[in-house]
Structure formats: structure tokens, C-alpha cells
Amino acid sequence: MSETTEPNVGTFTLGDPLTAEPTEPIEVPEHEEWPLPNGFAWVFHGEGNRGLVRPVIMADGFNLGRSRLDVLYQGLEGGAFPFVSELRRRGRDVILLGFEERSASILDNAQAAEAAVLRANAEQLGDARLTVGGFSMGGIVTRYALARLETQGTDHRTALYFSYDSPHRGASIPVGVQAFSHFIPFPNNFAKQMNSPAARQMLWQHYDKDTGKIGVATERTEFLTALDQVGGWPRIPRLIAVANGRADGVGLPEVKPGDVALRIEQIYPGTTFYVQARGDDVTAAYLNRRFPKAEKTITTNGFPELDGAPGGTLHTYRILAEAMEKVGGRADLRHEAVCFVPSVSAVALRDIGRQDDLYANIDELDPSESELDDFRCSSTTTAHTAVTEELCTWLIDRLPD
């Protein structure tokens, strides 16, 4: 390690189960590849289909870099439920949609989704209507793409839109973690991910590396305006969604507001991240580095208790702790995971900026409050985009004939 700078710990990114390297490789079956504007797709025909008959387009989610559809396939197949295989067994043709840059603007990546929809319609045999959706940000990309096609007067022939733990009302990454990505004295992948167009559009609150201020990014405001200009949602298909978080208002009771989530020593000594608490002038993180010498305290005002809220989780602090330990640091890890996509956001029912809305008991609310036609929350808290039998079978049972 240089005596004039801290080691570069920013080669990692925050990812979910569908972007994690599999522990055991799964053979990806034969497929066709489509080149698309700003993206590409892999096409897996359903059992017994000699061409594209009953297409299901499923878009990749948020991370940094080009989509790795082999990893996405393995994430969909290698967990608790073989999602792609079950769809194909039922005669569905699965089209996995990837992007040249997953962290690019949603508006740009929607071009890939639109092209995939149009190609599927052009090549399809028969008259079955499409199912189109995606995981995490992929659900937002396809939502916007279908709505824009309708605004343009293009028949997308989609009967069902679905999203899988997508942040319809925003997502949350602790602002102290966002700030730390820019505190690392190197250009790094973690900072690129946190400052990317997609992150700025998706996050409820964003840390601005240039001003040090925390608030709604300009890119989010502009995206929400663009979404509103195409009607907010596609109007033709039935709209459904699943959430990896619970519906009963129960989140992560062990993640207590104000507690230490992670403390780092040896490297970035004394750097400490706290579980988000309510109130004004609340310390979210204390950042310290030796070379070049600097320290910073990150505070929030008027935030709800986001980290322990009901929702799909990311192992944010475990990922950060492991990155520190790889370069010789010592990590006192108290909480591995925090809420990333609140349940009320995934089912488009409430905004996430108010405590009462964030922790709302969805089971006790009128389902018509949601912007969706139907939705399902997980019976237990699960990782963001985790493929479970409960959620996948609910989705499959609602596919159009």
C-alpha cells in the first residue's frame, strides 16, 4: 500500500442475486441472439415450439457495465425455482433482454426494449399476445418503453406487463454509502455506479459528489416528467407486479435506527455507517481516511427509517465489508443487509418519503390504491430480485393464454 493514499477498494459494485456469480455453473442451453439498439437479447424457445410462438420478454436490471445474460440466466435457474425452465415447459418462449450499459439512462435503454418488442411481433408465429416486463430497473425500462410505444401509436401487442421488485416509487441506497464511494481517492467502479444516470433516476435521494448535498437528483425529476409525458404507464396491457418485501408492514426488526451498521478499521480507520434514523441533523456516516487526509460527517434531515423498512434487501454492508477485508482492512459488521426497494414502491402503492407510508400494512389497504391491476408481496423478507417459487408461480399463473 502506498504511503500517500488509501488502497483502492472501489472495484466492486452493489449487486443483487441475479448479478451474483453462481457458486456452481449452469449450462446455458442453445439460444438465438438478437442485436438491438443499446442492447441485445437471448431467445430460448418453449418446449415443442419451432419458432417464436408465445413470447415472454424479461429485461435485466441495474448494475454497472454490459449485461451478462449468462449470469442472469443462471440466477433465474440456479436458485429456489427454475423460472426459465418452467416457462419453457409451459410452451413460453423466453427472451432475456440485456443492455450495453446497465447503468445508462432508462430512456436510452428503453430503445432496446422497444426494439425487442417489435422484433418479437415481427417474427412471431400465430397471434398470441406478448408478456413484457423485467427485474428491478428492467421493470421500469419496459414500463416506459411500452408507454412510449403507445404514445407513438405503435401496436406493441402486449397483453401483460409485469415487474419483479421494481422501484416504481424509488429505491434507497444509504446516503453514507453513496458518499463513501466518492470518498475513495481513486476513480472507481463503485463511484461510477452510484453516480450513473440510472442511479440518479432511480434513487429516492441521491448524494451529489460535486456539492455534497443530498436530495432528489435532477435526472430523477426529468425522468419522472418524461414518464408522465407518456402517460405514466402503458394502458393496453394488464399491469401486475411482485415484491420481495412483505405486505404486513414488517421489515427488518433487527436493523434498529441509529445503530452502527458497519465500522471500518486499519483502512479508512474509524469510518462508521449508521442505520438510518428519523429526525433532523441525523448522522448517517462518519468517513475518515489517512492519505490524503480527510474526514467528513454525512447527515440527513427528515428521512424516514429506510434501512429497516419492509422491502427487498441488498447485502450492501456485507459487500462493503468484504471489499475492505480484501485489501487488509478490518470490518466490524453489525448488519449485512438493508432495504433497497420498499414493498410500497415495488407495488406502486405509496411514496417512500414518509414513515407511515413506508411502513404501511399493505394487507390492510384497498388494493385499488395501487397503480397496478394486481400484485403480490413475499410472505417473508427476501433479497431484492431473489427468485422464489412463491413469487414466480404467482406470475406464471397470470400469464395470458
pLDDT confidence of residue 4? 62
- The stretch 248-270 carries a mean pLDDT of 96
DSSP string, 60-104: ----SSS--HHHHHHHHHSSSS-HHHHHHHTTPEEEEEEES-TTS
pLDDT confidence of residue 26? 80
- The stretch 4-19 carries a mean pLDDT of 86
- The stretch 29-33 carries a mean pLDDT of 95
- The stretch 165-184 carries a mean pLDDT of 97
pLDDT digits (tens, 9 = 90+) for 208-256: 999 999 999 999 999 999 999 999 999 999 999 999 999 999 999 999 9
* Contact by Cβ (8 Å): 13, 64: yes
Banded model confidence at residue 5, pLDDT cuts 50, 70, 90: confident
pLDDT digits (tens, 9 = 90+) for 362-395: 999 999 999 999 999 999 999 999 999 999 999 9
**1-254+341-401 classified as CATH 2.130.10.10:** no
What's the mean pLDDT when you consider all of the chain? 96
Banded model confidence at residue 2, pLDDT cuts 50, 70, 90: very low
pLDDT confidence of residue 1? 44
- Sheet strand arrangement including 158-164: 32-36, 39-44, 93-99, 55-59, 130-135, 158-164, 238-243, 374-377
Number of Cβ atoms within 10 Å of the Cβ of 389 = 13
| Alpha-carbon span 195 to 192, nearest angstrom | 5
pLDDT digits (tens, 9 = 90+) for 120-159: 999 999 999 999 999 999 999 999 999 999 999 999 999 9
pLDDT confidence of residue 7? 80
Percent of the chain exceeding pLDDT 90 equals: 93
pTM exceeds cut of 0.95: yes
Banded model confidence at residue 191, pLDDT cuts 50, 70, 90: very high
Banded model confidence at residue 42, pLDDT cuts 50, 70, 90: very high
Q: Decide which of 20 and 61 is more confident.
A: 61
Task: Cell numbers for 94, please give them.
Answer: 423466453
Question: Residue 339: is its pLDDT beyond 80?
Answer: yes
| Alpha-carbon span 163 to 105, nearest angstrom | 18
pLDDT confidence of residue 21? 82
Question: Residue 3: is its pLDDT beyond 90?
Answer: no
Q: List the chain domain ranges.
A: 1-254+341-401
* Contact by Cβ (8 Å): 105, 195: no
| Alpha-carbon span 396 to 392, nearest angstrom | 6
H helices of 124-230, in order, are: 137-151, 175-183, 189-194, 197-202, 218-229
| Alpha-carbon span 389 to 105, nearest angstrom | 31
3-state secondary structure of 177: helix
